Chain A
Amino acid sequence: MKEESRKDPILEPERYELDERQPYRLGWARREFLQLSGAGLFILLTTDPAPAAQESGRRRGSGQSLPEEISAWLHVAEDGRVTAFTGKVEVGQNARTSLTQVVAEELHCPLDSIQLVMGDTALTPYDRGTFGSLTTPTMVPQLRRMAAAARETLLDLAAREWGVAREAISVQAGQITHSASQRSAGLGELSRGRKLARRVSADPAMTPPEKWQMTGRSIPKVDGKSFVTGRHRYTSDLKLPGMLYGKMVRPSGFGGVPRSLDASAARQLAGVVVVRDGNFVGVAAPSEHEAARAVAAIRGDWEIPSQVSSQELYRHLKSHPTEARGWRGRSGHSTGSVEEAQANADLKLASTYHIAYIAHAPLEPRAAVAQWTGPKLTVWTGTQRPFGVRSELAETFHLAEEDVRVIVPDTGSGYGGKHTGEAAIEAARLAKAAGKPVKLVWTREEEFTWAYFRPAGVIEVESGVRQGILTSWEFHNYNSGASGIRTPYAVENQKIEFHPTESPLRQGSYRALAATANHFAREVHMDELASLLGEDPLEFRLRHLNDPRLAAVLRAAAQAFGWSKRGSRKGAGSGIACGFEKGGYIGTCAEVRIEPSERQVKITSVVAAFECGAILNPDHLKNQIEGAIVQGIGGALFEAIEFENGRILNPRFSRYRVPRFSDTPRIEVVLLDRKDLPSTGAGETPIVGLAPAVANAIFDAVGIRLRSLPLAPQGLPDSKRA
């Protein structure tokens, strides 16, 4: 930080605002924020250009309205209420709880004195988005630092006010105490009606894991009560005065262009606004059913371009390479010579694996409420990228970013599926035309059709073994992605490549990205090799693992599962898989039973061992792992998007099967707590072990090797499949 602020760490806000060293251009947003804050202490954490800055505190583009290098801020009100601000959002992963725990830990104040303001572009620091399991490794340390800095500032203040040695002052349960002089004050009391602001950049002393009191414990969801009583307002529950209900007119297929469109009947309906702007066709009406009626009254004839269908998908992916760049670009890894190693191998295996498109199907579909105030736009919407959606809105409506505010109420889940702002843009366009606020909630069918999908993929693996040692590993992934593509096994000769291809459907992030597909192919292939070698699949893996953390979760899962004691019952089988992704290590064992009559696969038991460094909240971690396993059942066994010539054929829960209570196995989670290692995220990685463990268990049960996800959408095939 700059010299000036070191010399004079406590600044009054007026001076702070005039401080020419502040490069900020703070518009209405920040003034509003300061008003909200009132008197008290105001801590701003500045991010040095460290790795964390890539995640928070920086943003691309121009027209900044918010402090660029401020990555987090916190306010302690006079009455001791603490408000912390973060650009992360809550979509069910319980980040609101874990982040609150971290603030309470370092500020030494009660959990219920803390309010976390999340995902509001006018109030919270810039954040790239809530994805990639990054909240724990990046936001947790930032809030921890900020809360620790706030605590240190309060100690400074108390020492000065009371004229006592700083070392003799302690903070406990929201009280600052100097026991020798029997003086004590609430956290915010010392500000005495003033607005004190302090910027901090240095690393304050933080509580080491072995002394944690608030973190490392199973604190229940902080606002759980508002969910079990139905009081929580999701975006789709909001209602503004005078608000209209919006609904889109969709083409009858992807890329549809209207040959003709007759909205005259809809325009006749009382209170209905019809908007046609290029290919955008939508209505706003005083109620949802009137909006639906208006949409039904619009007669459209759409020209749908000819498109690839599910049947031709995998052939298409193999034969349509693209020159995509960036994270979707071609990437690879190569060591040694796979050609040579293959030539010298005494066992060779080549297998191809397929991965279908699947949908996130968050139970709350995309929703937005948009309100214009003059030229300024406010949108409430459920998204994992509030600042990204703000950019989308600014771009779409030709606005400066500071004239757009995006607010994300705690949202009905995302799983990587809510990175985009379609509903926000639609609601805003309709609201602009109507001159009134508009709410727009996608139907389930729209969510299944017009959102994006987890990429489908083709994976080809060729391996070679010489004298029992895996010596050659060639791995090609077409389309699904590069996440988790590297093998954690020690193989001397490797050639691993991701090939971007043209995707017939719109595709994007999904919990664990392509790591699910890549782990599936790799872990099934390892199982195939073990089987060909007549070796136990656990031993075969362990023999090729150098990473002690991965070996540890694999062993822990096997032990809790009783791998070595597993029996062989007719129609039942056990499978094992492991993986590493986004800083987390997973070992998964699954047991399946094949119902003989319908050849349906029933997963009867799953044991997962997981390690992600020091655990912040064991029960919520366990909850995430269980949830990933249950969600993973769908993609493993039966979920697949079917499509034909620009139309989704199964865009409903009645035609797209998702896991239900009756699909849920007995689940046991083993947590390995590594207090000596930094905490990493856990929302994604636990999903990657499930599909291969289940596929391997099916092979163990009935000798059928399945290499396509979903494995058994209509039950098992009758005969062995190559």
Chain B
Amino acid sequence: MTRIKHLNVNGARREVDADPERSLLNVLRDDLELTGAKYGCGEGQCGACTVLVDGQARRSCVTAVGRIGESRITTIEGVASEGRLAPLQQAFLEENALQCGYCTPGMILSALALLRENTAPTEAEVIRAMDGNICRCGVYPRILSAIRRATALAEGGEQ
């Protein structure tokens, strides 16, 4: 098995030395100290580990790092640019769309992937896209509001 020697993460080429069978989540967290992606279930059911791979939401806990190749990975640490929060991050704060915050990075990245594909999703489309992400604190209504708010921001609409 060829070991994985580098990954493209958050716009930078990062050196690693990883067994290809290891999960992407594990390599990001333990080798690259990008701990924003969380372990929640290990079976792709809760979305806490969500990262973007070439812009698509991917459950990093069930993705072998050997399958990533040259794809571009975005973790929550790469969402804000130059210290400026992305509209979705801002919207999560404004809507208080978090309690313990453990699901928040996965929620933001799943929503980001949705909004890249569909700049004006309907409520039903948002629910369908987000339904794989669990929040045990139950802030779903606020997350929906945050996504709506971010959509409005992106459209240049009112706050």
Give chain B nearest CB distance to A310 CB in angstroms: 22
B40 touches A92 (CB 8 A): no
Given the known interface contacts A653-B41, A660-B131, the answer about A630 and B100 at a Cβ–Cβ threshold of 8 Å is no
A228 touches B89 (CB 8 A): yes
| A245 to B21 CA separation, bound complex (whole angstroms) | 18
| A228 to B96 CA separation, bound complex (whole angstroms) | 11
| A224 to B80 CA separation, bound complex (whole angstroms) | 14
| A444 to B102 CA separation, bound complex (whole angstroms) | 14
User: Which residues of chain A are within 8 angstroms of B48 by Cβ–Cβ distance?
Assistant: 363
User: Which residues of chain B are within 8 angstroms of A221 by Cβ–Cβ distance?
Assistant: 93, 96, 98
Q: Is A719 an interface residue (CB 8 A)?
A: no
Q: Is A362 an interface residue (CB 8 A)?
A: yes
Q: Is B30 an interface residue (CB 8 A)?
A: yes
Given the known interface contacts A364-B100, A413-B99, A623-B96, the answer about A230 and B40 at a Cβ–Cβ threshold of 8 Å is no
A623 touches B92 (CB 8 A): no
Given the known interface contacts A94-B99, A412-B100, the answer about A228 and B141 at a Cβ–Cβ threshold of 8 Å is no
Given the known interface contacts A92-B101, A363-B103, A623-B142, the answer about A658 and B41 at a Cβ–Cβ threshold of 8 Å is no
Number of A residues near B (Cβ < 8 Å) is 58
**B77-123 interface with A by 8 A CB criterion:** 77, 79-80, 85, 89, 92-94, 96, 98-105, 108
Interface string of A629-640 (1 = CB under 8 A from B): 111000000000
B39 touches A441 (CB 8 A): yes
Give chain B nearest CB distance to A633 CB in angstroms: 8
Closest chain B residue to A417, Cβ basis: B136
Q: Is A93 an interface residue (CB 8 A)?
A: yes
Given the known interface contacts A229-B80, A230-B36, A652-B45, the answer about A620 and B96 at a Cβ–Cβ threshold of 8 Å is yes
A660 touches B141 (CB 8 A): no
Closest chain B residue to A658, Cβ basis: B134
Give chain A nearest CB distance to B61 CB in angstroms: 10
User: Which residues of chain A are within 8 angstroms of B144 by Cβ–Cβ distance?
Assistant: 661
Give chain B nearest CB distance to A368 CB in angstroms: 14
Give chain B nearest CB distance to A19 CB in angstroms: 42
| A653 to B40 CA separation, bound complex (whole angstroms) | 9
A654 touches B43 (CB 8 A): yes
Closest chain A residue to B93, Cβ basis: A224
**B23-70 interface with A by 8 A CB criterion:** 26, 29-30, 33-43, 45-46, 48
Q: Which of A228, A360, A629, A667 contacts B93 (CB 8 A)?
A: A228
B46 touches A653 (CB 8 A): yes
Q: Which of B30, B34, B94, B130 contacts A661 (CB 8 A)?
A: B130
Q: Is B16 an interface residue (CB 8 A)?
A: no
A443 touches B38 (CB 8 A): no
Closest chain B residue to A668, Cβ basis: B141
Closest chain B residue to A90, Cβ basis: B100
Give chain B nearest CB distance to A216 CB in angstroms: 16
| A443 to B130 CA separation, bound complex (whole angstroms) | 23
A658 touches B85 (CB 8 A): no
User: Which residues of chain B are within 8 angstroms of A653 by Cβ–Cβ distance?
Assistant: 40-41, 43, 45-46, 134
Q: Is B153 an interface residue (CB 8 A)?
A: no
Given the known interface contacts A228-B89, A653-B41, the answer about A627 and B134 at a Cβ–Cβ threshold of 8 Å is no
**A83-139 interface with B by 8 A CB criterion:** 91-94
| A289 to B18 CA separation, bound complex (whole angstroms) | 11
Where chain B touches its partner, the secondary structure class is loop
B138 touches A289 (CB 8 A): no
Q: Is A453 an interface residue (CB 8 A)?
A: no
Give chain B nearest CB distance to A100 CB in angstroms: 15
B45 touches A230 (CB 8 A): no
User: Which residues of chain B are within 8 angstroms of A623 by Cβ–Cβ distance?
Assistant: 96, 99, 139, 142
Q: Is B7 an interface residue (CB 8 A)?
A: no
Q: Is B76 an interface residue (CB 8 A)?
A: yes
| A221 to B96 CA separation, bound complex (whole angstroms) | 7
Q: Is A352 an interface residue (CB 8 A)?
A: no
Given the known interface contacts A623-B139, A653-B134, the answer about A228 and B104 at a Cβ–Cβ threshold of 8 Å is yes
B101 touches A444 (CB 8 A): no
Apart from A363-B48, A630-B135, A631-B138, what 10 extra A-B contacts exist at CB < 8 Å?
A220-B94, A221-B96, A228-B76, A230-B37, A231-B36, A234-B35, A363-B38, A410-B100, A653-B41, A664-B138
Interface residues of chain B, those whose CB is within 8 Å of chain A, are 19, 21-22, 26, 29-30, 33-43, 45-46, 48, 75-77, 79-80, 85, 89, 92-94, 96, 98-105, 108, 126-128, 130-131, 133-144
Interface residues of chain A, those whose CB is within 8 Å of chain B, are 91-94, 218, 220-221, 224-225, 227-234, 236-237, 239, 245, 287-289, 360-365, 410-413, 415, 441, 443-444, 619-620, 623-624, 626-631, 652-654, 658-662, 664, 667
The 8 closest A-B pairs by CB, nearest first: A230-B36, A630-B138, A92-B100, A412-B102, A227-B101, A230-B76, A92-B99, A237-B35
